[in-house]
Amino acid sequence: MPIPHDASWMLEQEARALLTRLARIRPFAMQETMLPAAGLLPASQVAIELYLMRGRRHLRRLILRFVRWLRAARQTADAPEAQRRFSILRLRFISVLTQFDLFNDVITQRSESETGVWLSGLDVVSADALQLRQPAFEAPAVICYLDRGVGAAIRRARTRLPGGGDSPVAIVKVPRERMVGSGIASSLIHEVGHQAAALLGLVESLRPVLRRKGREASTDAEAWRYWERWISEIVADFWSVARVGVASTMGLIGVVSLPRAFVFRITLNDPHPAPWIRVKVSAAIGQALHPQPAWARLSNLWESYYPRIGLTEGQEQVFAMLERTIPELVAVLIEHQPPALRGRSLAEALDLDEVRPARLTALMARWRSAPWEMYRARPIVVFAAIGQGRMEGTITPEEESEVLGKTLAHWALTTTLEAAAGCAAKPLRRCGCGCAV
């Protein structure tokens, strides 16, 4: 049957209505109000705007194509077919809006007084945490936002967004309760570690090694099944400890200090290690990468909070088995040479000398008399040094929050001015639709 006139007319009206609503979606650069220092770095802003612009342009073409088809097919198609095509089109429209709202939720916080500038500073910290002395990958832009909850999370760059397409940037959700203290570095750089692991293919290259360890083990073979299941989180913890030292494990303890039942809950269905063993692994990684008495102190402190008493016989056996294999697991991580690093190990790639405990202690003492020198240091070194100071009791929580608030603002302002100067020195180029980028 041909499409009834009313059905054809109504569907065309609805399709044209989609076009009008689509046209009302404006680039973020034309609607978000924020301090320049709180804005996204140009690479992030451009990547997001161009991605969303391409999505809107493609959807507009689909809608116009549908309208042309509808007008031409009134005698050859029926109403159910026309409605089916429109329903699919509408779902595509909703997907475009969903992706817009995803980035809108992130960017809108940049308009909040002070918080927006801090978030911009955290973007700088994230970028620094991805840098290697000898580049092994093209690091994507990372943008941060605050949300409720006790843990951070990441939507990695180049992973699928709702409705299709790959995210042009990495988006890190930072727990609001962590702002602002050195513990924020633990959560943030752990999530950055997930992005780095994906770029280096660490999980894929480590799993065969762990399986082989399990096959070759005369005892404790089951432990390697757990380590293989949990390796994605362990690698992210490794990255965090390597980058900011003792601040990482202190921050981890703050996140996983939960009721006892959760701390000792162990399952292969969860990619996160049981909190009790996760802290022990973090401290063991720290002792291997940055030797100092603080790691044993933290490990003993953790055991005093959650003594291994009252566990079932099965639980006790599993935790004892895992604890026995921690040194070998840490050695695997330190010595691992993923193909992307071309013969270098993880430990060699991560600039460990910059965050040696003795150096961090000396920096904290130096910054007491010359605080302006702190602003010249790498962000990860600043966080590592302040975390070391917290562990040694040379900086109070009140001083920590004050100093980190100032350094985050400094990094945000500095990168904004550097980006502005760089843009001023370059001629504008234009994308396919004629807008300047």
Convert the pLDDT of each residue in 375-398 to its tens digit: 999 999 999 999 999 999 999 988
Judge if 356 and 239 occupy the same domain: yes
Q: Is residue 187 part of a domain?
A: no
**Total structural domains within the chain:** 2
Q: Which residue has better confidence, 209 or 31?
A: 209
Last residue of a domain, one of 81, 107, 133: 107
Last residue of a domain, one of 107, 126, 141: 107
Which residues form the domain of 219? 201-395
Judge if 81 and 227 occupy the same domain: no
Q: Is residue 238 part of a domain?
A: yes
Judge if 99 and 213 occupy the same domain: no
Judge if 216 and 327 occupy the same domain: yes
pLDDT digits (tens, 9 = 90+) for 174-190: 888 777 777 788 999 99
Average pLDDT score over the chain: 88
Tell me phi and psi for residue 63, to 5 degrees.
-65, -45
Tell which phi-psi region holds residue 114, choosing left (phi > 0), alpha (psi between -120 and 50) or beta. Answer: left
Q: Is residue 118 part of a domain?
A: no
pLDDT-based confidence at residue 425 (cuts at 50, 70, 90): low
What is the model's pLDDT at position 269?
86
Q: Is residue 344 part of a domain?
A: yes
Judge if 226 and 353 occupy the same domain: yes
Q: Which residue has better confidence, 435 or 178?
A: 178
Most confident range (mean pLDDT) of 108-117, 234-243, 305-314, 392-401 is 234-243
Q: Is residue 402 part of a domain?
A: no
Q: Is residue 175 part of a domain?
A: no
What is the model's pLDDT at position 436?
42
pLDDT digits (tens, 9 = 90+) for 44-72: 888 888 888 888 898 999 999 999 998 88
pLDDT digits (tens, 9 = 90+) for 402-415: 999 999 999 988 88
Judge if 360 and 254 occupy the same domain: yes
pLDDT at 431 over 70: no
Strand duo 153-155 + 142-147: pairing: unpaired
d(CA 185, CA 380): 8
pLDDT digits (tens, 9 = 90+) for 119-171: 899 999 999 999 998 888 988 989 998 887 777 889 999 888 877 788 889 99
What is the model's pLDDT at position 437?
41
What is the model's pLDDT at position 435?
39
pLDDT at 430 over 80: no
Last residue of a domain, one of 79, 107, 135: 107
Q: Is residue 244 part of a domain?
A: yes
pLDDT-based confidence at residue 432 (cuts at 50, 70, 90): very low
Judge if 360 and 228 occupy the same domain: yes
pLDDT at 99 over 50: yes
Please report the sign of the dihedral spanned by the C-alpha atoms of residue 86, residue 87, residue 92, residue 94.
Answer: positive
Q: Is residue 150 part of a domain?
A: no
What is the model's pLDDT at position 174?
86
Judge if 217 and 364 occupy the same domain: yes
Threshold 0.75, pTM exceeds: yes
> Which residues, in sequence order, are bridge partners of residue 147?
175
Number of Cα atoms under 13 Å in the Cβ half of residue 236: 24
pLDDT at 423 over 70: no
